[in-house]
Amino acid sequence: MINYLNWLVVFFLGLSIGSFLNVIIYRLPLAIKGEDISLIHPNRSFCPACKHQLSWYDLIPVFSYAIQYAKCRYCQANIAKQYPIIELTAGILSVLIVYQWGFTLQSVYLLALAYGLLTLFVIDVMHQLLPDIITLPLLWLGLLYSISYKEAESAIIGAIVGYLFLWGIYWGFKLIRNKEGMGYGDFKLTAALGAWLGWQALDQLLLISSILSIAFVLLSKQSKHKKIAFGPFLILATVFIIITNH
């Protein structure tokens, strides 16, 4: 019974963190674009449609969404499916990570990685942004994690090579085609992932992410002139590498 209670606590904590991630996903891109919205001293959550401030019972992760039939209590506007999906994803990831690595400091590191990558994934899909305020802390956390649990040298080389490799591709593409093939956020994310995975995994990371991005373009019949975010494919490749190595 105690074990079940522990897992329920972990799951509900994950749901709550997922709810906080939804706030970051909504507000951070707006703040980057210069809108008057604070992340340090945020106002209470509000409905994006009618701007009505939400009560605590409107903000219970997943349950409020279900009880309100996916509609705002005040204006009846539809609530995006993104909110419960992110909350559930954070809850499930929390349980899986703690189950695999236990109630340890290592789990705390990996939970921070999971929450950070989940946030970056959604922001990059929606806005084609990989904010420094998330990627750079992930880079330093990856270096600290590797010093404690892996090889520091591999992490440092992974971060440097990951950044420089994509930087080289960026400038090569720009010189040949006179276009920007990717953004600097992709370099920083790859550096962060190199710190977590080590330089030995970089070839696998870049190969898998490239295959996924090409498959997406072909299957979705995207125009070759339309920009697509590369960050989500790097993140999916990272998840695959972590799963297959454990």
- Per-residue pLDDT tens listing for the chain (246 residues): 447 888 999 999 999 999 999 999 999 998 888 776 666 555 667 767 677 777 766 677 888 777 887 787 778 878 888 999 999 999 999 999 999 999 999 999 999 999 999 999 999 999 999 999 999 999 999 999 999 998 899 999 999 999 999 888 878 877 877 766 677 899 999 999 999 999 999 999 999 999 999 899 888 876 666 788 999 999 999 999 998 887
Give burial (CB, 10 Å; 0-12/13-18/19+) of 162. Answer: buried
Q: Distance between CA 163 and CA 26 in Å, rounded?
A: 28
pTM for the whole structure: 0.90
Q: Which residues contact 93 (CB under 8 A, 6 or more apart)?
A: 14, 111, 114, 115, 118
Looking at residue 224, its pLDDT comes to 62
Phi-psi category of residue 62: left, alpha or beta, with phi > 0 → left and psi -120 to 50 → alpha: left
Looking at residue 1, its pLDDT comes to 45
Looking at residue 222, its pLDDT comes to 66
Looking at residue 113, its pLDDT comes to 98
Q: Could you tell me the residue ranges of all domains in the chain? A: 1-103, 104-246
Phi-psi category of residue 103: left, alpha or beta, with phi > 0 → left and psi -120 to 50 → alpha: beta
Query: What torsion do the CA atoms of 138, 84, 78, 41 make, to the nearest 10 degrees?
Result: -40
Query: What torsion do the CA atoms of 82, 85, 88, 92 make, to the nearest 10 degrees?
Result: -120
Q: Hey, what are 226's tokens?
A: 């339309």
